């Protein structure tokens, strides 16, 4: 019998590109909740970051104490702006090449289970995926609300998926799919393989030195990607 396979997908730069809507919403919330202009803070470095970590850094940069109440107000404001931006007429985001084809093809394999391993807040992840109608492919996952440190998210994702499916996954059968060196490090911390894809902020030349199990320029060749992920 084929062993169950678990594929844990990152979102931004891996499945889709919001074309700055996520970063824009984070800064909208800075203006709303902190009451300071967006360009008064240092530039955001979001690649591979978790939203929890980003929120802590923003409070730090603004010199404001982060109480749980204020952090909640910030998250609520961010999520409201994110939703608005994702559905605005000016939204220019897109799915990355052949993502729909890839998710549909993976769905044909009964032993393959899809989850999320993302720094997005759970609610924000849902907004982004449902904007492109791909949310139904994913059973559950680990999110930016679970830990500020990305490397802590892997075991949480595996445990949630095992619980949702009613069976465990051998670590050899887990593959993390992401677009940044932090995704590769996160796979290493979990003891899982990483398929890295250069559709985000990092090119092949920048990802290669981090030695992922596999490295692709993009997912355009669906059949080849499926063979790697399923075989």
Closer by beta carbon to Mg ion, 47 or else 139: 47
Count of C-beta atoms within a 10 Å radius of residue 95: 16
Half-sphere exposure of residue 99, counting CA atoms within 13 Å on the CB side? Answer: 22
For the bound state, the minimum distance from the C-beta of residue 61 to Mg ion, rounded and expressed in Å, comes to: 22
Closer by beta carbon to Mg ion, 34 or else 138: 138
Residues numbered 177-196 forming contacts with Mg ion, rule: CB under 5 A: 179
Q: Rounded to an integer, what distance in angstroms lies between the CA atom of residue 73 and that of residue 61?
A: 17
For the bound state, the minimum distance from the C-beta of residue 130 to Mg ion, rounded and expressed in Å, comes to: 18
Binding mask 134-173 for Mg ion (x = CB under 5 A): ----------------------------------------
Angle, vertex CA 142, rays to CA 136 and CA 145, nearest 5: 115
* Three-state secondary-structure class, residue 104: helix
Binding mask 12-31 for Mg ion (x = CB under 5 A): xx------------------
- Give the one residue of 8, 10, 82, 187 binding Mg ion; rule: CB under 5 A: 10
Closer by beta carbon to Mg ion, 13 or else 141: 13
- Strands (DSSP E) contained in 27-165 are 94-95, 112-117, 141-142
Binding status of residue 51 toward Mg ion by CB under 5 A: no
For the bound state, the minimum distance from the C-beta of residue 122 to Mg ion, rounded and expressed in Å, comes to: 16
* Three-state secondary-structure class, residue 172: helix
For the bound state, the minimum distance from the C-beta of residue 67 to Mg ion, rounded and expressed in Å, comes to: 29
Closer by beta carbon to Mg ion, 81 or else 128: 128
Closer by beta carbon to Mg ion, 140 or else 179: 179
| Cα–Cα separations (whole angstroms), residue 63 to 49, 66, 107, 120, 148 | 20, 9, 47, 24, 19
Closer by beta carbon to Mg ion, 34 or else 180: 180
Q: Rounded to an integer, what distance in angstroms lies between the CA atom of residue 187 and that of residue 194?
A: 6
CA nearest neighbour of 160 among 124, 118, 205: 118
List contacts with Mg ion (CB under 5 A): 10, 12-13, 179
């Amino acid at each position: 019998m084929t062993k169950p396979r678990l594929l844990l997908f990152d979102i931004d730069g891996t499945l889709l590109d919001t074309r700055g809507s996520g970063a824009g919403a984070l800064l909208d919330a800075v203006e709303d909740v902190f009451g300071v202009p967006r360009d008064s803070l240092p530039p955001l470095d979001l690649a591979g970051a978790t939203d929890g970590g980003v929120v802590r850094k923003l409070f730090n940069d603004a010199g404001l104490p982060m109480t749980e109440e204020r952090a909640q107000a910030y998250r609520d404001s961010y999520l409201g702006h994110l939703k608005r931006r994702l559905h605005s007429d000016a939204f220019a985001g897109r799915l990355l090449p052949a993502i729909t084809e890839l998710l549909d093809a993976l769905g044909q394999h009964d032993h393959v289970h899809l989850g999320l391993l993302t720094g997005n807040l759970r609610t924000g992840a849902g907004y982004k995926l449902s904007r492109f109608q791909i949310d139904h492919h994913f059973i559950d996952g680990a999110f930016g609300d679970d830990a500020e440190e990305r490397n802590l998210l892997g075991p949480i994702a595996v445990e949630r998926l095992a619980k949702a499916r009613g069976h465990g996954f051998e670590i050899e059968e887990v593959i993390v799919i992401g677009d940044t060196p932090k995704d590769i490090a996160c796979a290493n911390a979990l003891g899982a393989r990483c398929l890295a894809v250069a559709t985000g902020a990092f090119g092949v030349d920048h990802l290669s030195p981090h030695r992922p199990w596999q490295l692709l320029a993009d997912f355009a060749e669906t059949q080849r990607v499926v063979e790697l992920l399923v075989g």
